[in-house]
């Protein structure tokens, strides 16, 4: 194929964390290699994780949440093409089909979708599929005005504009023009909402509850299951539920939202008197667009001014699957230790792909920001001539729920542990975050899970108000090192009265759990 | 030997962290075993580490810093004998010689020392030497009125009484009567000091600088070497120096204190005019007691109202050495993986003993609180019939220096690394503590050291204002797991905007250092 400069380009599909990490790393490793990134939208390198804090008002500049601007990307020698959607991959011919959209905001069709102005084929030497994930929204009425999913910058911009006083957000300048001006304008001139429904009690739900409560809204959070933040386990879930209630959020646990309904779709909603009510008959088709007035759920109906839906995400793996590339857990793209798919010179990384779990060794799908950055960077290095493993995942996650800091890593669920061949045993302890006599010590609850036979540490969780979140890194690192619970118990962790008691809460948990294994 | 109840008792020398951890654990493992703890002083189970915060005024109750009261100890079925000093060990006859002091505070001889009222022998089945360490004070004049070492509760009580307004501390009730009333009274009625010298720039020095500055004193800190907190390495030392200067502490680096001098001992000190000066001739013996007026040092002399000396500690291992028990590094008692000394059924644990370093595998002496608690607990379990390893040490330490949180673990010093057979290479990075757009992100500086050939992680340090200290546990856990820097780089650490950027500062350092090894 000649020198790297003569080879067909490294083509990247998707301009967020994994895609741009790969493109940047490849350019550093092999500066002569042509690198093209196709991004279907306007935004690149944006931080999903920051959106709740923009909505809350702790972050005011939407653009500040992007790691790289398009200019930064170009400065790295990367050929970034925004408003370019890859619609097909042909692994035999080593090409992708690309549709270019008109970037003029006025050139949308009646439905508001962008119009395609050109379709072309691009050949690749190496290809990275970094198409990310999308928010699930399997609820009737999710298209209504007033319903948000917070999986896109435009959605965050519109919700924030809605919360602000009318006229205080300029739709033309918010996000420096990258946002969908018409969509933001739709909310910028309205009276602020007084109440909100949050559908789903995962990260997005819990973080959004904090964000909306900060604006003084009456916040209802609906969770189909009985526990918040299920991947964090029972101890964290119940602590977070207590915190949310303490902060005035009305929790509806074990309550499934069945629809997002408008004023004319149901009784007793958005109406002022019996005469004006319009009743929808059973089974009668109700328009699923129009304005939101209430959420219908298994306990009845609750009138709200807006709804945020955060019930999970799914990998955007259809493009790969349609090209005959193998998929794996949860439909995500199957990859090996280097991010290689079943097609030659085609890689996948980030929220659309699986990764190896450090505890089970199995390929699993856990869409998280660090994994995406790291896997993308590794693929970029590999493509650039420096073969690099993408690294495993432990499913480490942290989330802020008002004043509670929550963390989890590895395997906590006993059914999942048994499926992976372990005999799980867990212990939960509550210990101080600092020496008891030192001001600011706070109760910190740690759960550790281990295999009863071998003592191998399988996972852990933590919740508390004082520096709890970063302590989960101790457990995550122990998983990376394959430590037993007794080995973790013997780790020489830090002690000083302002920061930790003599026995760090993680060590207390290890001490107790060590008594339950072997 | 019959049942455990019939055996000679488990005798523990020393009633602080290691000794009481051992006694308590042994009683839990073998409730019938007789356990006797001899403590030469009044205080048991007190927290050295808390004293600076008592002096500062953040902790008001001296007793709150003890983990266990004498009554707690008795409630555990332990025969605690305070004011009992073990003066000799006879490993052949399996006895210790004990001197009992009169506990009546008036029964002191002219020098202020307690008087012995009884000497007796006590036989042991198992013996634990948990005699701790003592503060070094190799400076002329350290006995002067106004000089403190902060290695004992009485010293902390007296210094705090000095700092408070006259009459606001009642010497009879402070510390609930456990303190040396006469010693505290000496300071309780005086006008508060306006200036202080701190001799030594280690933990005690840095923490005491913060404590005394909080009372508005002019604080001078003298450090013989050029860097503060030498075990934390250059990056931390310079950050702490900058912080102390920022907070108004006058640093004298590379300046050795040669003496603590009184008003009549030197020129230009504590005098109002030339006529009243008294001059000490070169080589002339100067009274090293009496009142403090100044510190003499290699740059001259500085007038101060008080001095705190914190220039290091040494193991209290003489008792063991005199009994023919082997000693090791820094003169500390030599022990094996279970805390066993060279004498049969004689153990040592805590600040008087060595422990195995997890990085080098060598026996080393690092006196720290967690090590003492853990080793004591392990010895108690072993003596109680459940053989338990004491665990290694990584020398993990954290310290607060005003707003800067500092941590260190493992081996940072390249000479020490080479002595242990490594080819060390270090990198230092500065990264944000949170996502850049999230409020409160602070610069965090991480140094990691690894072996160039194998990539094995050897140690690390951290400094920063936002949750920096507990992040050192990530590195400490990696050392426990024997990770290479590349393995640490791949650890799945926590990310969420309020707590950590996508790439945690430790991961950033690992990424950079991974480029320098192999």
Q: What are the tokens at B384?
A: 């109680």
**pLDDT beyond 90 at A3:** no
CATH class label, B4-42+83-134+313-383: alpha beta
Instruction: Answer yes or no: do B409 and A494 touch at CB < 8 A.
Output: yes
**pLDDT beyond 50 at A274:** no
Strand partners, A490: none
Residue of B nearest to A496 (CA): B398
Q: Do residues B267 and B284 make contact, with C-beta atoms less than 8 angstroms apart?
A: no
Neighbours of B314 (CB within 10 A): 17
- Average per-residue pLDDT for chain B: 91
> What residue spans define the domains of chain A?
4-42+83-133+314-383, 137-309, 404-514
Instruction: Answer yes or no: do A493 and B370 touch at CB < 8 A.
Output: yes
For residue A398, the chain B residues in CB contact (below 8 A) are 494-496, 499-500
Residue of B nearest to A203 (CA): B496
**pLDDT beyond 50 at A105:** no
Question: Among residues of chain A, what percentage have pLDDT more than 90?
Answer: 81
Q: Do residues B128 and B154 make contact, with C-beta atoms less than 8 angstroms apart?
A: no
State the Cα–Cα distance between residues A470 and B230, nearest whole angstrom.
26
Q: What are the tokens at B285?
A: 């013996």
Tell me whether domains A137-309 and A404-514 share a fold: no
Tell me what pLDDT residue A474 has.
98
Tell me what pLDDT residue B264 has.
63
pLDDT digits (tens, 9 = 90+) for B8-62: 999 999 999 999 999 999 999 999 999 999 999 988 887 788 999 999 999 998 8
Instruction: Answer yes or no: do B480 and A470 touch at CB < 8 A.
Output: no
Tell me what pLDDT residue A174 has.
86
Tell me what pLDDT residue A113 has.
55
Q: Which residues contact B382 (CB under 8 A, 6 or more apart)?
A: B338, B339, B347, B388
Indicate the CATH number of A4-42+83-133+314-383 among 3.30.420.40, 3.50.50.60, 3.30.70.330, 1.10.20.10. Answer: 3.50.50.60
- DSSP letters of B7-69? SPPEEEE--SHHHHHHHHHHHHH-TTS-EEEEESSS--S--GGGHHHHHHTS---GGGG-SS-
> In a mutagenesis test of the B interface, which of A433, A494, A505, A518 is the best target, namely the one with the most B β-carbons within 10 Å?
A494
A243: nearest Cα among A442, A101, A510: A442
Q: Which of B53, B479, B493 sits opposite A473 (nearest CB)?
A: B493
Question: What sign results for the dihedral spanned by CA atoms A39, A40, A41, A45?
Answer: negative
Residue with tokens 């007296």: B158
- DSSP letters of A110-162? TTSPBPEEEEEEEE-SEEEE---EEE---SBTTTSBTEE--SSHHHHHHHHHH
* DSSP SS3 for B133: strand
Tell me what pLDDT residue B263 has.
86
Determine phi and psi for B224, rounding to 5 degrees.
Answer: -60, -45
pLDDT digits (tens, 9 = 90+) for B88-122: 999 999 999 999 998 654 444 445 556 778 999 99
B10: nearest Cα among B467, B385, B515, B483: B385
For residue B374, the chain A residues in CB contact (below 8 A) are 490
State the Cα–Cα distance between residues B417 and A475, nearest whole angstrom.
27
More confident residue, B267 or A124: A124
State the Cα–Cα distance between residues B139 and B257, nearest whole angstrom.
8
Instruction: Answer yes or no: do A437 and B497 touch at CB < 8 A.
Output: no
DSSP 8-state class, residue A190: S
State the Cα–Cα distance between residues B226 and A409, nearest whole angstrom.
42
Question: Among residues of chain A, what percentage have pLDDT more than 70?
Answer: 92
**pLDDT beyond 60 at A98:** yes
Tell me what pLDDT residue B327 has.
97
Instruction: Answer yes or no: do A491 and B477 touch at CB < 8 A.
Output: yes
Q: Indicate left, alpha or beta for A491 from its phi (over 0: left) and psi (-120 to 50: alpha).
A: beta
**pLDDT beyond 50 at A70:** yes
Confidence of residue A279 (pLDDT cuts 50, 70, 90): very low
Determine phi and psi for B348, rounding to 5 degrees.
Answer: -140, 145
Determine phi and psi for B185, rounding to 5 degrees.
Answer: -60, -30
Strands B116-123, B126-129: pairing kind: unpaired
Half-sphere exposure of B399 (CA within 13 A, CB side): 28
Q: Do residues A62 and A106 make contact, with C-beta atoms less than 8 angstroms apart?
A: no
Tell me what pLDDT residue B114 has.
62
pLDDT digits (tens, 9 = 90+) for A164-188: 999 888 898 887 778 889 999 999 9
Q: Do residues B193 and B305 make contact, with C-beta atoms less than 8 angstroms apart?
A: yes
Homologous superfamily assigned to A404-514? FAD/NAD-linked reductase, C-terminal dimerisation domain (3.30.390.30)
Instruction: Answer yes or no: do B477 and A474 touch at CB < 8 A.
Output: yes
State the Cα–Cα distance between residues A64 and B438, nearest whole angstrom.
9
Question: Taking the mean position of all CA atoms in its chain, how far away is CA B146?
Answer: 21
Question: What sign results for the dihedral spanned by CA atoms B235, B238, B240, B242?
Answer: negative
Confidence of residue A383 (pLDDT cuts 50, 70, 90): very high
Tell me what pLDDT residue B515 has.
92
Tell me what pLDDT residue B267 has.
40
State the Cα–Cα distance between residues A41 and B342, nearest whole angstrom.
73
Determine phi and psi for B118, rounding to 5 degrees.
Answer: -160, 140
pLDDT digits (tens, 9 = 90+) for A498-511: 999 999 999 999 99
pLDDT digits (tens, 9 = 90+) for B158-217: 999 999 999 888 898 887 778 889 999 999 999 999 999 999 999 999 999 999 999 999
Residue of A nearest to B469 (CA): A499
pLDDT digits (tens, 9 = 90+) for A243-265: 999 999 999 999 999 999 998 65
Question: Among residues of chain B, what percentage have pLDDT more than 90?
Answer: 81
User: What is the architecture of the domain spanning B137-309?
Assistant: 3-Layer(bba) Sandwich (3.50)
> In a mutagenesis test of the A interface, which of B407, B491, B503 is the best target, namely the one with the most A β-carbons within 10 Å?
B491
Tell me what pLDDT residue A263 has.
86
CATH topology of domain B403-514: FAD/NAD(P)-binding domain (3.50.50)
CB-count burial class (<10 Å; 0-12, 13-18, 19+) for A250: middle
B378: nearest Cα among B29, B143, B11, B8: B29
Strands of B397-401's sheet, edge to edge? B397-401, B404-410, B457-464, B443-451, B424-432
Determine phi and psi for A476, rounding to 5 degrees.
Answer: -60, -40
């Amino acid at each position: 194929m000649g020198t790297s400069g003569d080879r067909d380009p490294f083509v990247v599909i998707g301009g967020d964390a994994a895609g741009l990490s790969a493109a940047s790393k490849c350019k550093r490793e092999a500066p002569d290699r042509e690198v093209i990134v196709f991004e279907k939208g306007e935004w690149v390198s944006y931080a999903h994780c920051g959106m709740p804090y923009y909505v809350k008002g702790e972050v005011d500049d939407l653009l500040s949440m992007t790691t790289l601007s398009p200019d930064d990307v170009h400065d790295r020698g990367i050929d970034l093409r925004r408003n370019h959607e890859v619609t097909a991959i042909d692994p035999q011919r080593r090409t992708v089909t690309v549709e270019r959209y008109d970037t003029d905001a006025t050139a949308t069709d009646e439905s508001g979708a962008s119009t395609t102005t050109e379709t072309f084929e691009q050949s690749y030497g190496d290809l990275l599929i970094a198409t990310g994930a999308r928010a699930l929204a399997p609820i009737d009425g999710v298209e209504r005005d007033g319903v948000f999913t917070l999986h896109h910058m435009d959605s965050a911009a519109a919700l924030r504009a809605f919360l602000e006083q009318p006229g205080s957000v300029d739709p033309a300048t918010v996000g420096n023009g990258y946002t969908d001006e018409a969509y933001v304008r739709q909310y910028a001139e309205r009276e602020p909402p007084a109440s909100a429904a949050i559908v789903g009690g995962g990260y997005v739900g819990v973080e959004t509850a904090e964000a909306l409560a900060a604006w003084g809204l009456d916040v209802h959070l609906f969770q189909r299951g009985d526990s918040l933040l299920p991947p964090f386990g029972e101890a964290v879930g119940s602590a977070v539920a207590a915190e949310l209630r303490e902060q005035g959020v009305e929790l509806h646990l074990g309550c499934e939202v069945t629809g997002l309904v408008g004023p004319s779709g149901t009784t007793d909603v958005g109406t002022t008197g019996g005469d004006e009510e319009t009743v929808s008959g059973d089974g009668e088709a109700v328009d699923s667009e129009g304005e939101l007035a209430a959420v219908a759920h298994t306990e009845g109906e609750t009138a709200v001014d807006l709804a945020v839906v955060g019930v999970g995400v799914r990998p955007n793996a259809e493009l790969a699957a349609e090209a005959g590339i193998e998929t794996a857990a949860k439909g995500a793209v199957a990859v090996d230790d280097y991010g290689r798919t079943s097609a030659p010179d085609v890689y996948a990384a980030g929220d659309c792909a699986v990764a190896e779990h450090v505890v089970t060794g199995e390929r699993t799908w856990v869409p998280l920001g660090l994994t995406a950055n790291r896997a993308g960077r590794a693929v970029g290095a590999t493509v650039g001539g420096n073969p690099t493993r993408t690294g495993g995942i432990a499913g480490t996650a942290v989330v802020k729920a008002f004043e509670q800091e929550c963390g989890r890593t590895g395997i906590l669920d006993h059914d999942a542990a048994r499926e992976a061949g372990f005999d799980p045993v867990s212990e939960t302890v509550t210990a101080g975050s600092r020496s008891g006599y030192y001001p600011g010590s706070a109760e910190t609850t740690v759960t550790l899970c281990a295999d009863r036979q071998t003592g191998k540490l399988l996972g852990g969780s933590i919740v508390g108000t004082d520096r709890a979140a970063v302590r989960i890194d101790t457990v995550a690192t122990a998983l990376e090192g394959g430590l037993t619970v007794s080995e973790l118990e013997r780790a020489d962790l830090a002690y000083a009265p302002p920061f930790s008691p003599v026995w760090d809460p993680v060590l207390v948990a290890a001490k107790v759990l060590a008594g339950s294994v072997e």
